[in-house]
Structure 1
Amino acid sequence: MNRPDQLWMAGEQALARKDLQTAERSYRAALAIDPSHAPALLGLSTVLLWLGRHRDGHDAGMAAFRVRPPVAPILYAIAQRLAYFHESESLAGCLQDPAFAAGAPADIIAKAAVMLSSAGAHEQATTLVEEGLRRRPSDAACLHVRGNFHFFRGELDAAEKCYEASLRSDPLLYQNSMMLAGLRPASPEHNQVDRFTAQLDRARPGGNGEIYLSFALHKQLHELRRFDEAWTALERGCAAKRRQVEYSTAQDVALVETIESVCDAAFVGATSGVAQPVVPIFIIGMHRSGTTLLERMLSGHSQVADAGETYAFHAEMELATDRSSAKGPDVGLVTAARSADFDRVASGYARRARWMSRGRPFITEKLPHNFLNVGFIAKALPQARFLHLQRDPTDTCFSNLRQLFSGVALYSYDQRELADFYLLYRRTMAHWQKVLPGRVLEIPYDSLVQDPSGTAGRVAAHCGLRFEDSMVDITRSSGTVSTASANIARQGFQRNRGQAWRDYAAHLQPLIDGLAPAYAAPAAP
């Protein structure tokens, strides 16, 4: 082992015992001898993040990317760090190295393909997972991921074959069962209730399998109109998931209060003058409020690229405030934003937007939680457009309750917490209407599904686009919809999706009572 490797190993040992100062010294000593030692750069990045030096940690991670050696495990470690910093373009470049596909095991290839898909590099992700299956055709993880990619493209028969093959390879990979439940509506003649029930009996209590299967069983029973049984399954799944997540309504109350304090009219009105290569269109609202339908509408326009649900803007806020906040804005980040350099935010976002736009002059950004960032976005990107989807409060919240999310919407597994969050969201949107009048176009969900052409015309005008007939054809086969609403979006504008909660009204009193203020007070105009 050469001297840089010895120093790097010493740094790893110090890091394992959380001796951060010793770890930093060891990594820097290794880099003094060999500045291109990628593992030492990654270790240094980790130490700096733990020390609260987010920008320096980012710089070390990017340095590791620039010197990346063609060694599969190191390339994957660098890609993981790039994903943490939401550096999508560099992530795609890192995993494009032929050495990664040639040397990584199939299960790591599956994880890398998910990272690429989450970054919007869908074609590259598909190519990579196909390579994993070429080398190991029965790999359960790769089969599951390929099934997801078929599902996102609306190729349901192909998705079903992949999920079934994945389950044959690993009967405990219950994510497949949850995805199978969402492929087609259950009917008395064709359903998987008995299968999911048997799987649930075998799943470990409190584990992910219990959660996946409870939500899958709820969906099938709901479609069969066996509502009491469906509620029992949903309640079980929500309770198991809530035990796994850490969430505090009080923290979100403090966050919204801080946003209101920092983002007054004077603060958000002092905007950046940094030119942007594209016009971002931010689609905001609660999860399950119709944002995917609206994104699908806009992405039908010849001038618009759909970037998906990216954390690109939030990543620039983390850099500008020198704070890590992996789950989105928090009180510390918002407070630090008072003195942040918003020209830096704008310049960094411009770099990311060039890659996301794929050469088109407009992009959609559809991360629902960006409703918390509206003031900061308006300040950094004065040319940005905002579209706010509003759906009936109980419809929205019940749809959240029924949806198993991946790492987001932690408030959605308890009725009271869900109602409280909804009210905080409404309060935040009312604040933006007050300090940014005219910037946010409010779009009622009912208008979107009942009058798509008229809504598309209003949306196009607000965004500075000319209406195109293709905007209304959301059932088109082109494009990738990589959210839980993928199948629904491809079914077109449906007018009968509301009021599903009424079949469960006897069980939903905490939610109904909690949402009462949302009906007493008018929505933001």
Structure 2
Amino acid sequence: MTLPTSGADAWQRAQAAIARRDMVAARGELESVLRADPAQVQARVLLAGVILAGDRLRDAATHLLHAARHLPDDAATVCRVAQALMRVGESLATRDCLRHPAVARCRDGSILATLAHVHQMLGEHPESLAMMDRARECGFDNADFRYFRSIQLQFNGRMQESEEELESCLRLGPTYGRASLTLARLRRQTPERNHLDTIRAQLAKVPRGTEDHAAFEFALYKELEDLGDFGAAWPALQRANAIMHARLKHEPIRETRLYDALIAACDADMLRPMDAVHEGPMPIFIVGLPRSGTTVLDRILGNHSQVVSAGELSDFAHQLRWAADRPGRSMLDESLVSRLGELDFAEIGRRYLVQTQWRAGGHRYYVDKLPANLQAAGLIAKALPQAKILHLSRDPMDVCFSNYRALFGDAYPYSYSLDTLAEHHRNYRRLVDHWHAAMPGRILDVDYQTLVADPEAMARKVFEFCDLAFEPDCVDLSRNAAPVATLSSPQVREGIHQRGLAEWKRYDAQLQPLLQALQAD
């Protein structure tokens, strides 16, 4: 960027202040740059980052929105602004950035690949794949890129191409554990067609204790289980979880303290819904534990003529944090919970709708299927009195085992130990019971076993709760060609089945401690 001499000096001093972690000085220097030239977009983006580091969200978002209104004809800068806007929850402005003319003209494969990730974060999966294909046409290529392109091919239902891309990724990246695990999950492995030799070869040389190491162990478990070798599969699953548990060091006491504070703060009086009527399409929230069947219900609803699936949105959490003026990665924390009584929930609901209603695409409802929104279900009900909330309930052993056999990265750190899984399930049940007691009739429980055993009966119940007429074809998941961006995306394209029931019993003896802990609740 070009700056007048005084501005250039301040820019250099700001860089030096950031390097020595003096954010107060950096903020002052960057504000000096902007006084000299308010149109300096890169200075605004950097200032927003400095403000976020000081735990202030609103000012950071204001600067980024200003930057988005004054974008230069430069795809790299547009990309940087879009990434920053996404981090502060400004989905609408992010989407506008991606439609800037500079993006259409861009021929830099690295920038296009980064913009594809932004589309993915927005849930725009066809657009993400198209952007990746543009990056490839520009000559951009590496193992990471092939892995993420394979994921987009999978999300868009192109399974054979996804498998081929994963195979090519593994040829480029010899210890790319996540690619190996994704490849194992794409289909059921057979004695004639599996990857066990490759996985074992990589396990012999992958760095110990890394996430790649854990991913290869999860892949080994999956393929051994497919082949019916449960005796060898279980130790691989234990090793995989032990690696991730050691890496993330989940603190169940801290989690329990958060749930205690949330339940105490959200009594019936506090959760009384706002006296507000919002216009336009309304969200249907699907909440629950991960791996509880949320994607199956999402696909059924997405088949309805008046509903579209918007994917797993982080917008409600972003608006909670905007209202509290506190950035953060988690849905809630104790600091945010302590401020719930001060927040303007009418404003939270309005802002959520501003950021998300575009996703409805002319439909009456759109589905926000983020399982973690369960933590905020009472707050959603308060802020959005017209919204529908559906809670997936699954057998405790089934859902805990399904969590234990999945690699979630750092998203659900409780899932890598049987002890912490049991403790988390205990907190989850306490919270669900509290929401029902404080808001009778506001949340519909959807039993997973009933959903897969008699999908039409459960669909009728769900549609009635959502004020939707029953449409018989909705339970035929093969009709739903929309992208699906969850861990179960290969499975839900097969249609509704009951294979996921009681799978834990293959490891009955090994899982007795979990069963006893859950029964003690």
**5+ residue gaps in structure 1?**
519-525
Answer yes or no: is the 8 Å Cα contact 1:52–1:324 preserved in 2.
Answer: yes
Aligned-residue offset at 1:51: 1.8
Structure 1 residues 397 and 276: CA distance shift in structure 2, 3 A: farther
> Match of 1:494?
497
Pick one of 59, 63, 66 that aligns with 2:66. 63
Structure 1 residues 398 and 343: CA distance shift in structure 2, 3 A: same
Structure 1, 102-111 or 469-478: larger mean CA deviation = 102-111
2-structure distance, mates of 1:245, 1:471:
40
One-letter identity of the residue aligned with 1:60? H
The answer to whether 1:79 aligns with 2:82 is yes
1-structure distance, mates of 2:480, 2:371:
24
Aligned-residue offset at 1:437: 0.3
Pick one of 291, 297, 301 that aligns with 1:298. 301
2-structure distance, mates of 1:240, 1:274:
49
Answer yes or no: is the 8 Å Cα contact 1:387–1:443 preserved in 2.
Answer: yes
Pick one of 385, 390, 393 that aligns with 1:390. 393
- 1:141-161: CA deviations, max 9, x gaps? 332222112211222111111
One-letter identity of the residue aligned with 2:238? E
The answer to whether 1:203 aligns with 2:206 is yes
1-structure distance, mates of 2:205, 2:111:
27
> Match of 2:176?
173
> Match of 2:446?
443
Aligned-residue offset at 1:16: 2.1
Answer yes or no: is the 8 Å Cα contact 2:75–2:111 preserved in 1.
Answer: no
- 1:33-58: CA deviations, max 9, x gaps? 11111111112111211222211112
Q: Please list, as runs of the form range in 1=range in 2, the aligned pairs for 1:327-476 lying within 5 A after superposition.
A: 327-476=330-479
Answer yes or no: is the 8 Å Cα contact 2:282–2:357 preserved in 1.
Answer: no
**5+ residue gaps in structure 2?**
none
> Match of 1:507?
510
Aligned-residue offset at 1:439: 0.8
> Match of 1:160?
163
- 1:441-487: CA deviations, max 9, x gaps? 11111110011111111111100111112311112251011000101
Structure 1 residues 244 and 272: CA distance shift in structure 2, 3 A: farther
Answer yes or no: is the 8 Å Cα contact 1:101–1:132 preserved in 2.
Answer: no
> Match of 2:220?
217
> Match of 1:522?
none
Pick one of 185, 188, 210 that aligns with 2:188. 185
Give the match's secondary structure for 2:499. Answer: coil
After superposition, the CA RMSD in angstroms is: 1.8
Structure 1, 65-74 or 435-444: larger mean CA deviation = 65-74
Give the match's secondary structure for 1:221. Answer: helix
Structure 1 residues 68 and 247: CA distance shift in structure 2, 3 A: farther
Structure 1, 60-69 or 1-10: larger mean CA deviation = 1-10
Aligned-residue offset at 1:6: 3.4
- 1:53-87: CA deviations, max 9, x gaps? 21111212222222222323322321221221232
Aligned-residue offset at 1:194: 1.2
Structure 1, 207-216 or 108-117: larger mean CA deviation = 108-117
Aligned-residue offset at 1:274: 4.8
Q: Please list, as runs of the form range in 1=range in 2, the aligned pairs for 1:43-122 lying within 5 A after superposition.
A: 43-100=46-103, 105-122=108-125
Aligned-residue offset at 1:383: 0.6
Give the match's secondary structure for 2:284. Answer: strand
2-structure distance, mates of 1:200, 1:72:
40
One-letter identity of the residue aligned with 1:55? R
The answer to whether 1:128 aligns with 2:134 is no
Answer yes or no: is the 8 Å Cα contact 1:356–1:363 preserved in 2.
Answer: yes
Give the match's secondary structure for 2:482. Answer: coil
One-letter identity of the residue aligned with 2:304? H
2-structure distance, mates of 1:104, 1:64:
23
2-structure distance, mates of 1:467, 1:5:
64
Answer yes or no: is the 8 Å Cα contact 1:476–1:490 preserved in 2.
Answer: no
Give the match's secondary structure for 1:475. Answer: helix
User: What TM-score do the two structures reach when normalised by structure 1?
Assistant: 0.95
2-structure distance, mates of 1:157, 1:127:
17
Q: Please list, as runs of the form range in 1=range in 2, the aligned pairs for 1:312-331 lying within 5 A after superposition.
A: 312-331=315-334
Structure 1, 411-420 or 10-19: larger mean CA deviation = 10-19
Q: Please list, as runs of the form range in 1=range in 2, the aligned pairs for 1:247-258 lying within 5 A after superposition.
A: 247-258=250-261
| Count of residue pairs brought into register by the alignment | 518
- 1:263-316: CA deviations, max 9, x gaps? 111111141415142221111110001000000000001111111111111111
Give the match's secondary structure for 1:507. Answer: coil
One-letter identity of the residue aligned with 1:211? A
Answer yes or no: is the 8 Å Cα contact 2:286–2:368 preserved in 1.
Answer: yes
Answer yes or no: is the 8 Å Cα contact 2:146–2:169 preserved in 1.
Answer: yes
1-structure distance, mates of 2:460, 2:347:
34
Structure 1 residues 130 and 98: CA distance shift in structure 2, 3 A: farther
Answer yes or no: is the 8 Å Cα contact 1:151–1:159 preserved in 2.
Answer: yes
User: What TM-score do the two structures reach when normalised by structure 2?
Assistant: 0.95
Structure 1 residues 245 and 76: CA distance shift in structure 2, 3 A: farther
2-structure distance, mates of 1:10, 1:505:
63
Structure 1 residues 105 and 210: CA distance shift in structure 2, 3 A: farther
Structure 1, 5-14 or 441-450: larger mean CA deviation = 5-14
Structure 1, 264-273 or 390-399: larger mean CA deviation = 264-273
Pick one of 153, 169, 175 that aligns with 1:150. 153
- 1:490-519: CA deviations, max 9, x gaps? 11111232222122223223322321234x
Answer yes or no: is the 8 Å Cα contact 1:288–1:396 preserved in 2.
Answer: yes
> Match of 1:266?
269
Q: Percent identity?
A: 34
2-structure distance, mates of 1:76, 1:183:
32
> Match of 1:2?
3
Answer yes or no: is the 8 Å Cα contact 2:126–2:156 preserved in 1.
Answer: no
Structure 1 residues 130 and 114: CA distance shift in structure 2, 3 A: same
2-structure distance, mates of 1:415, 1:83:
34
Aligned-residue offset at 1:397: 0.3
Answer yes or no: is the 8 Å Cα contact 1:72–1:104 preserved in 2.
Answer: no
> Match of 1:484?
487
One-letter identity of the residue aligned with 1:348? R
